Amino acid sequence: QSVLTQPPSASGTPGQRVTISCSGSNSNIGSNTVNWYQLLPGTAPKVVIFSSNQRPSGVPDRFSASKSGTSASLTISGLQSEDEAEYFCSTWDDTLNGHVFGTGTEVTVL
């Protein structure tokens, strides 16, 4: 179902750096900006990165992201316990003419 591919899990100890990849195609990541969402059970999903590398106000600067060609990545530097959540990449798909999401990556803080 998901158009964008992410690793199912990633982990690190507090203070470590974790990077999550997101792979797509020319009709989505290759043509549009990428957004990253954080999902915690029972809470409203939250955008942590928009327009490929922009942080909304209130999102810590330990969250950063980049995009190259048909792939994108999210990096959490200085991992903290509150970062334990599921992360989804997303972008617009020109063929679908709508939003598409990644398969999701569960980040665990060891």
Partner 1 sequence: QLQLQESGPGLVKSSATLSVTCSVSGDSIRDNSQYWGWIRQTPGKGLEWIGSIYRSGHTYYNPSLKSRVTLSVDTSKNQLSLTLTSVTAADTAVYYCARDGYSGFAHSYWYLDHWGRGTLVTVSS
- Site for partner 1, rule CB under 8 A: 1-2, 31-33, 35, 37, 39, 42-47, 50-51, 56, 88, 90, 92, 94, 96-104
Closest to partner 1 by CB, 16 vs 108, is 108
CB 9, min distance to partner 1, A: 14
CB 19, min distance to partner 1, A: 20
CB 75, min distance to partner 1, A: 19
Distance of CA 50 to the CA centre of its chain: 10
Closest to partner 1 by CB, 52 vs 78, is 52
DSSP 28-95: TTTTS-EEEEEE-TTS--EEEEBTTTBPPTTS-TTEEEEEETTEEEEEESS--GGG-EEEEEEEEETT
Cα R_g (the chain), whole angstroms: 13
